[in-house]
Structure 1
Amino acid sequence: MNTHISQQIFAATDYFDLTNSEQGKILQFQQETLELIVLGNDYKEICEKICLLIEHLLDNAVASVMLLDKNKQCMNVYAAPSIPDQCIAQLNGLRPGPETGSCGNAIFRQEAVFIENTLDDPRWQRIREIAVDFNILSCWSIPVHSKGGECIGSFALSSFEHRLPSAYHRKLLKIGSFVIGIALEQQKTNEQLYLSSKVFENSTEAIIIADVNKVIISINKALNKITGFTADEVIGKSVSIVTSIRHSTSFFQKIWLSVKQSGHWQGEVWNRHKCGREYPAWLNITSIPSKNASISYYLIHFSNITDKKKSDEIIWRQANYDSLTGLPNRNMFYDRLSHDIKNASRAGVLLAVLFIDLDRFKEVNDSFGHSVGDALLVEAAKRLNGCVRETDTVARLGGDEFTIILNGISDQHSAERIIQLILMELIKPFHLNAKLAYVTASIGVTFFPEDAGNAEILMKNADQAMYTAKNNGRNCCSYFTSNMRKATEFRSRIAYELRHALKEQQLFLMYQPIIKLETGKVHKAEALIRWQHPERGIIYPGEFISIAEETSLISDIGDWVFKQAVNQVATWQASYNSNFQISINKSPKQFISRISDWVNHLHEQKLDGQSIIVEITENLLLDAHELVVKQLLSFRDAGVQVAIDDFGTGYSSLSYLKKFDIDYLKIDQSFISNLDSKSNDRILCEAVITMAHRLGMKVIAEGVETESQKQLLMAMGCDYGQGFLFSKPLTTEKFEAFLQHTAEIY
């Protein structure tokens, strides 16, 4: 190394213009600096010793090494053993430039800079104070280059007298700069080697270095931890000592051929532990070429991926399977359906999609708790799986909704047997945690390719058919028809037009009188919404209220109805009867979507709470939702009266009637329409009226159409009647005329 570097220095330096004494000093300087590099480990200390050596050869001067910080584009003192700390502090952070002294110029211009008088030379203009403060009268600086020729800093001599360097001084600076560049380059190389060795030793991956014959020549500590083999047991052996015998010879031949052709290969393999146990590993092989481009070594590293594969499998299962039942979830179901559609298309066979919803499942949850409900879903999943073939798919979409793909159906009747088996299995009682529960199923069925050609439309079809099965009484199946699609398209159009109906003031209210049977006077009215459609004329609520509930428009429509009714009741109370009331229907969806501010609006209008009667359905009371309870109690506290509409058609509990202080029961018109002195409906109506009165409630009979019905109801003690016998729903103007007419009669 010394001879090689010396030759470079001699080749770059002409010594003929030096005296023999100066040549001797130069050679001695070279020898001493080269020995520092060869023997030294601390490269900063090497640079400081070079500075001291050159200071010894030049009286009344100090040497320094400054390095360039590329990121910050500034210089910092690296070695300056004879320069005061105060001076170093001022030099640190100096940016290369034409006015930043000898070192700043040397780096900026990429050439040697020799300044005889720092006190008046313009190149020292920006740092003149340093020259004055520390008596630097002249300064000579030369760039320091890396092995690749990049400027990395400067080597300088600062003198305390005005002078320029002689040929001897310049050669000293050149040699010092050259040797410092070598030292810093060596430092960088050693740091990289040290870092590489630490990475090699402390890597969590097993690392093997093998020769061109694939014989192991070195390993790291991780290999012992992963494979169980020690260095003594594998060095000198073939790399195949750590691989599994489950792979064929041709498998590894292909791997090594790929390494030879591209220089690299990576992939998953099976490796073998020292004890014989096999494990999955992620393997990387890289060829290391020699100077002549032929392969000299192989770098092989691998890691045990057993835990990762287990984790990946868990994540995959969580993403594709239902955690409760173990069935494929929505994501997996759609993947399989798309795949099965392609297979059915190629084979020219049918495919059936079943959408299954459990009937009355919510009642099981409410009655027995969610743990029993979950147990029922698990058992239902087992029963469904037992009804289908291995080639079919049963999936759980969520809640109590299941789907089934029936593959390879020759005709629609082929699916019928499986569907009937499902209905029979699900109707059987569920024995769950000492509880006995009953559910049935509503099933929607659609076929590929007859009904649709893609997964999305098939699922929409099956969903529509399932709702038809629900409407047909549950515990049955319904096959998709084109009429269902037309009905869906019609509902979508209604939903779209309904959004504009409220803004365009197409909705209006009609009022049906509620008569006090004892006196025949009008005490109340029910507000009934109508839609004046610009093309179809008047649309009744039966056509659009359910759509409004599905699209969340019901809250806005309900608030509009309430405010219209409040304005109207204020008018009629002022002009007709101060105790007049208007009943308005409130959808269950309105209770759950948000808490209304109806009570506050009544207060703002300075109206008593009893001006309004809120009509709700029986089923709402079964859903003890927090928002439902809160709003019903707020109505009670504000004096707003509550009526149960269509009483007798749902599942009311007497405890609920008392809990929420219900004021009125409205007997459904289905009980009134066949009412006569001998009918069972008469017994039921009389029982309801007696029960209501005992609980402190009034009774309103809906759908009264004949005088006979009226007389029977009066005989039973019914309080109020509503129906066509008295009046059909009326516009505001006609209702006011009706009020005037009844007032004149009574």
Structure 2
Amino acid sequence: MNSQVTARFLKVKAVPAALLTAVICISVTTGLCWLSLQVSKENLKRRLQETVYQHHASLQNELEHEESRLESFVSLYYISPNFNRYAFHSFAKVENQPWLVAKLFSKRVRPDEFNRFEQAVKIDTSVDTQGYPDFSITDKVAHQDALVALYMEPRQELRDALGLNLEKWFPSGSKRMRESAQPLSFMLNNQHPILKGNNIVISIPVYNTSLPLTNQAQRKTAFQGAFSTVISIDKLIHHLFDSANLKMNSVTLSGTGIDDEKIQITLPSGTRTDTTNKPYIEQFNFQLPLSVPGKKWSVNYEIQTYDGLAETNILWLITLIGTLFTTFATGFIYLTVRTGKIAHRLAYDMTSALQISEESLLETQRLAKMGSFQLSPSHQLSAQTGNLHDLFYLDPEIRIDYLLQLLLHMDAEDALKFTQVISTALTTVLHTHQVVRIESETPGWLNLIVDSSETPTGFTLRVIAMDVTDKYQSEQKIKQLAYQDALTGLANRTSLRHATERALRHSHIYHSKLAVFFLDLDRFKFINDSVGHDIGDQVLIEIAHRLKNSVKEVDFVARLGGDEFVILVEHLPKDNDVNAIADRILALICAPMNIGKHTYYLTTSIGIAIASDGAPDVDELMKQADMAMYQSKEKGKNKYTIFSIDIAQALEQRTNLELEMRVAMKEKRFLPYFQPQFDVRTHQMIGVETLLRWRHEKRGMIAAKDFIAVAEESGLIIDIGNQILVEVCQLIPTWNLPEKFVVGVNVSSLQFFQAGFVDFVIKSITDAGIPPSRIEIEVTETMIMQDINIAKICLEQLHAFGVGVSIDDFGTGYASLTYLREFPVQRIKIDQRFVKGHTKNHKDMAIVKAISTLGHDFGMEVIAEGVETELQLISLENIGCDLYQGWLRSTALPAQAIQSLLPPIEPDRPTNHNDSNAAPALSVAIG
């Protein structure tokens, strides 16, 4: 019975024990499931928050980077003396950044400049070889300035926007930007008629910095245009967040439009996944500030996710274990221990997963060269992520606890400014950034983003550190390129100007002197044309090296471009030092130059200008040195000239003379005069040489020798020579010329080697309706030798048409007999220098006899120039010359006087201009 009672007792006790075990196990199981879900949810939220913060920081950094790129364009605009379409497109890089809709430079154009501006753009071939023949300013507003979309990248996609007047579409924004001189940021949604899509536009104005900018009216006057960047916010956010594997419902950007109106843009995410049959759906919202130039917007990220436990067997495992606990009540101790191990393992697994997630985040930040930390009011650091040791160049063994440890590794001035920013951020809501220099053997630069927000207990401050060393160094390289010559490494024109202005200030303060040496290499073009630009570049590099060695280390050497160099010498003790420096430069340049297998010899022409007590200014000083250099060129090159007032006056006279000549061209004041030519035996006039005269309104008739050098240097000789040739061809039909009468046209080398010269001569003769044999082209030996091949082709073409050819001033040039044998020459003219002295000097007599004999042996006629005495004429007749001209018989005469010396035209017998047996040609000489 006792055994039965015991058994019943035991049976009664076992049920409550089993029930108690089941309740406990089920409670533990349920609690573990709930705890796991909560821990998972909190960890998930924290990881999502870290990921969103990190990618949002990348979004902020990219916008700041775009602003920085835009500022680089503005810097380039101000430092570049000739900012143009080619410079803009060389710096614009859009193709590798898909979120960039456009980079744009828009130029302010006044109404009275519209036509001239449109014509200039149409012929702009700096980027597109065909120019823009259909260009016009669209959407013009009457009597108002236009802000014209001028340079843009990408060009092809935006070609329809070229010429668009942005002033019409963004009037209030344009007004606010140009009057405030501050960057302008605004959002555009899909409803805007010009820019489709959801875009952020950042614009920075540029001004004429030589004008005052202190008030709105002055800034409005000095405003020249704006650089703008258009960013597709859809593409930028998707580009930054797609790699994060976030399941975002939407991204909402809250900001302002062009008129500061409130705008909200909701961007549906392309990363949303199907959550059907996904239990434990969770939604998170993160609202973060976004700073753009002049504005502070916000971005709300709505992220939908599900608990990671729902896709694992952890919950089922816990349930199964709980069931086993209940089923095997007899193994309560075992199950309890087992339960403890399982719980321990679960906690261990979750801790390991969290650690792996944190390590992954740290690795991501390490690769991105980022780090972050929170900062307390006492400047203690917490919640550190990333590798702050590497970013701040700290010893990995040192523990970072306080902000001071980081400040000690910053540049002192940057550290002071950053401390002030932190002090402000701990007392007010702030989102800003500062680039600081980290001191080391190889210094780096960090962009420190400071974000503070207000909480019930005070202000929470977080700092994100991003390594921007590469970006900073790239910007410095751009600035270096702006101030340094890329080929030689010397300073460029901009840098030289700054150095000269600084030296002039010192000269004014210390009452000292300085000198500017302006160098232009002689015959450098010949090296480029003969052996190529690669060798030419090596020559320039060697010249730069020699120039740096020719002066002191403190002196400034610059290359202006091409083969022009400038040396600035400060604190000049004596004027004689200038001569010593110039002699040293000439000697170094003249030294043989071994490049490759060849040796080259160069010389240089130097112009020197000296400033004293800070005067003259930099522009006038450079102008004086340039004028002195041209004097060295005219004196035969490989020389130096110190500027003086006489040089300036001579140049001014030359400039005024050129201006007067251009006016005379328009007013047709250049006239043909004619020097008669006579037969030595019969003394009959059988031809004329045309000479050039200028009928000046104040100075009267001017001979060619007084202005021909300026005409050739300025290139006006081409138009003058062509005009005279046409007039002579049209005069010939009005004269009754004997059968053997020749007109010689003495052309300049510029006119002769101009493309289309032969066609122009043929057309002039044909239009006048005269036989080609009436005209004879006079060339000089020196002119032929400039390009023998082209000269031969041109003269043969003229000869084939029937035009005669003569060589003027024979014996004064290269005296090569090759062209006498190979060229189609009918006459040679003995220069008057030999004729004038041949009756007194046996050497001149020998030269005249030799030329006469040589001409006759070649079957040519020989003409003697400058015959002034009967004795000279008798001697020439004895020698055997055929023709002569000179003051003995006649000076140069106008066309009417020549006509009076010829027989009158018989009225009943018209002149037959097509007669094949017409008289020989009339000689036209421009000289």
Contact 1:393 1:404 in 2 (8 A): yes
Please state if 1:590 is matched with 2:754.
no
Cα distance in 2 between the residues matched to 1:150 and 1:438 = 70
Distance in 2, matches of 1:367 and 1:717, equals 45
Indicate the residue corresponding to 1:421 in structure 2. 584
Question: Over residues 539-561 of structure 1, what are the superposed CA-to-partner deviations in whole Å (9 max), with x where a residue is unaligned?
Answer: 22233333333444333322211
Please say if residues 811 and 831 of structure 2, whose CA atoms lie closer than 8 Å, have aligned partners that are also in contact.
yes
* Number of the residue aligned with 1:217: 383
Change (3 A) 1:315 1:256: closer
Partner residue, 1:624: 787
Q: Pick which of 486-495 and 691-700 moved more.
A: 691-700
Q: 2:437 aligns with which of 250, 269, 284?
A: 269
Cα distance 1:502–1:473, how it changes in 2: closer, same or farther (>3 A)? closer
Measure, in 2, the Cα distance between the counterparts of 1:238 and 1:695.
104
Name the aligned partner's letter for residue 309 of structure 1: Q
Letter in 1 for 2:721: G
Q: Distance in 2 between matches of 1:589 and 1:412?
A: 41
- 1:619-674 deviation per Cα after TM superposition (whole angstroms, max 9, x unaligned): 43344399878755653443333444334444465556666545444333233332
Is the CA contact (8 Å cut-off) linking 2:658 and 2:714 kept in structure 1?
yes
1:289 corresponds to 2:470: no
- Residue equivalent to 1:130: none
User: SS in structure 2 opposite 1:607?
Assistant: coil
Matches within 5 A, 1:622-661: 622-624=785-787, 634-651=797-814, 654-655=817-818, 661=824
Say whether 1:394 aligns with 2:557.
yes
Aligned counterpart in structure 2 of residue 456 of structure 1, from 619, 642, 659: 619
Contact 1:321–1:332 (Cα < 8 Å) also in 2: no
Q: Which residue of the other structure, out of 533, 536, 541, is the alignment partner of 2:699?
A: 536
Residues 260 and 287, structure 1, Cα contact 8 Å, conserved in 2: no
Render the CA deviation track for 1:305-361: whole Å, top value 9, x for unaligned.
3376257437734753261x4443434333322222222222211112223344455
1:467 aligns with 2:625: no
Gaps spanning 5+ residues in structure 1: where? Answer: 1-37, 42-68, 74-145, 154-181
Q: Which amino acid aligns with 2:572?
A: I
Question: What secondary structure, in the 3-state scheme, does the structure 2 residue paired with 1:290 have?
Answer: strand
Match of 2:842 in 1: 679
State yes or no: 1:320 paired with 2:451: no
Matching residue's letter, 1:585: N
- Residue type of the partner of 2:467? S
Aligned to 2:659: 496
Cα offset, 1:587, TM superposition: 2.6
Q: C-alpha separation between the residues in 1 aligned to 2:263 and 2:842? A: 110
Are residue 722 (structure 1) and residue 722 (structure 2) matched?
no
Structural mapping, 1:131-280, within 5 Å: 189-191=300-302, 206-212=369-375, 213=379, 215=381, 217=383, 219=385, 237=400, 247=410, 251-261=414-424, 263=430, 264-270=432-438, 278-280=442-444
Q: Distance in 1 between matches of 2:811 and 2:452?
A: 87
TM-aligned CA deviation for residue 564 of structure 1: 0.7
1:446 alignment partner AA: A
Q: Aligned runs of 1:92-103 on 2, under 5 Å?
A: none
Instruction: Report the residue type matching 2:450 in the other structure.
Output: T
Alignment of 1:95-134 (within 5 A): none
Relative distance call for 1:321 and 1:714 in structure 2 (3 A) is: farther
Distance (Å, rounded) in 1 between the aligned partners of 2:614 and 2:412:
53
Distance verdict in 2 for CA 1:470–1:186, change over 3 Å:
closer
Q: 1:582 to 1:494 in 2, by over 3 A?
A: same
Larger RCO: 1 or 2 (CA < 8 Å, sep 6+): 2
2:738 maps to 1:581: no
Provide the residue aligned with 1:555 in structure 2: 718
- Tell me: CA distance 1:243–1:452, structure 2 relative to 1, closer, same or farther (3 Å): same
Comparing 705-714 with 401-410, which one deviates more in the overlay? Answer: 705-714
Kindly indicate whether the alpha-carbon contact (under 8 Å) linking 1:595 and 1:631 is maintained by their aligned counterparts in 2: no
Q: 1:152 to 1:710 in 2, by over 3 A?
A: closer
Out of 466, 473, 495, the position equivalent to 1:309 is 473
- Of 658, 670, 674 in structure 2, the residue corresponding to residue 511 of structure 1 is 674
3-state SS, counterpart of residue 888 of structure 2: coil
Q: Distance in 1 between matches of 2:753 and 2:718?
A: 10
8 Å CA contact 2:773–2:803 kept in 1: the answer is yes
Matched, 1:734 2:897: yes
| Separation in 2, partners of 1:239, 1:707 | 112
SS in 1 for 2:756: coil
1:300 aligns with 2:464: yes
> 1:234 offset after TM fit, Å?
11
Between the aligned partners of 1:724 and 1:451, the Cα distance in structure 2 is 57
1:459 is displaced (CA, Å) by: 2.3
Change (3 A) 1:372 1:211: closer
**Deviation digits for residues 470-507 of structure 1 (CA, Å, limit 9, x no counterpart):** 33344433322222222222222222222222332322
State the one-letter code of the partner of 2:512.
V
Query: Is contact 2:286–2:300 with CA below 8 Å preserved after alignment?
Result: yes
- Aligned-residue offset at 1:728: 1.2
Instruction: Report the Cα distance in structure 2 between the residues aligned to 1:657 and 1:322, rounded to whole angstroms.
Output: 49
Aligned match for 1:524, one of 676, 680, 687: 687
Larger Rg belongs to: 1
Question: Aligned pair in 2 of structure 1 residues 584, 288: CA closer, same or farther (>3 Å)?
Answer: same
CA distances 1:670-691 after superposition (whole Å, capped 9, x unpaired): 3333223753233334444455
Separation in 2 of the partners of 1:655 and 1:402? Answer: 40
How big is each residue's C-alpha offset from its partner over 1:703-741, in whole Å with a ceiling of 9 and x where there is no partner? 232334344444554443332223211111222344469
1:352 aligns with 2:512: no
What RMSD over aligned residues (CA atoms) do the two structures have, in Å? 4.8
* Structure 2 Cα separation of the partners of residues 293 and 660 of structure 1: 103
Structure 1 distance, partners of 2:552, 2:540, is: 20
* Residue identity in the other structure for 1:442: S
What are the superposed Cα offsets for residues 74-125 of structure 1, whole Å, 9 maximum, x if unpaired? xxxxxxxxxxxxxxxxxxxxxxxxxxxxxxxxxxxxxxxxxxxxxxxxxxxx
Q: State the 1:448 CA deviation.
A: 1.0
3-state DSSP class of the match of 1:409? coil
Cα distance in 1 for partners of 2:265, 2:648 equals 77
For the residues of structure 1 that align with 2:789 and 2:480, how far apart are their CA atoms?
A: 37
| Structure 1 CA distance for aligned equivalents of residues 775 and 415 of structure 2 | 85
CA distance in 2, matches of 1:589, 1:629: 16
SS at match of 1:705: coil
Rounded Cα–Cα distance in structure 2 between residues aligned with 1:505 and 1:400: 38
CA distance in 1, matches of 2:443, 2:435: 14
Letter in 2 for 1:589: L
Structure 1 pair 561/284, CA: closer, same or farther in 2 (3 Å)?
Answer: farther
Tell me the secondary structure at the aligned position of residue 485 of structure 1: helix
Cα distance in 1 between the residues matched to 2:380 and 2:304: 24
**Which residue of the partner structure matches residue 329 of structure 2?**
none
Give yes or no for contact 1:354–1:444 (8 Å, CA) kept in 2. yes
Within-5 A mapping of 1:84-99: none
Cα distance, 1:337–1:569 mapped onto 2, change above 3 Å: farther
CA distance in 1, matches of 2:595, 2:264: 82
Aligned length: 564
Q: Which moved more, 1:679-688 or 1:483-492?
A: 679-688
Note closer, same or farther for the CA distance 1:432–1:278 as it changes in structure 2 (3 Å cut).
Answer: closer
CA contact (8 A) 2:504 2:615 kept: no
| 1:8 corresponding residue in structure 2 | none
Contact map agreement 2:483 2:491 (CA 8 A) in 1: no
Q: In the alignment, is the contact (CA less than 8 A) between 1:591 and 1:627 conserved in 2?
A: no
> C-alpha separation between the residues in 1 aligned to 2:191 and 2:744?
79
Q: Secondary structure at the match of 2:707?
A: helix
Would the aligned equivalents of 1:569 and 1:581 in 2 still touch at CA under 8 Å? no
Shift of 1:291: 3.3
